[in-house]
Amino acid sequence: MTTTSTLTRWRVADVVALYDLLFNDLLYRAQTVHRETGLKTEKLMEVDDVLKAAEVAKANGAPRFCMGAA
């Protein structure tokens, strides 16, 4: 039996570039409880609306559906 293993070695510059992307600077609504962020609070979505959004995501090929609430 023959197996092939490939190991991708990341360059330091590529890793640093990941940390510079905007998703590392997200401001989570949970922080609004402890800090002045300028964000307004919002009510949670209705369960049916969340389920519909998840179904649409799944139908469009999304392997995951992230739901965040604080």
Residue with tokens 């992230």: 66
The per-residue pLDDT for 62 is 94
pLDDT tens figures, 10-66: 899 998 888 887 666 555 656 666 677 677 777 888 999 999 999 999 999 999 998
Residue 3 has pLDDT above 80, yes or no: no
The per-residue pLDDT for 67 is 84
- Torsion angle, alpha carbons of 15, 68, 47, 39, to 10: -120
The per-residue pLDDT for 65 is 92
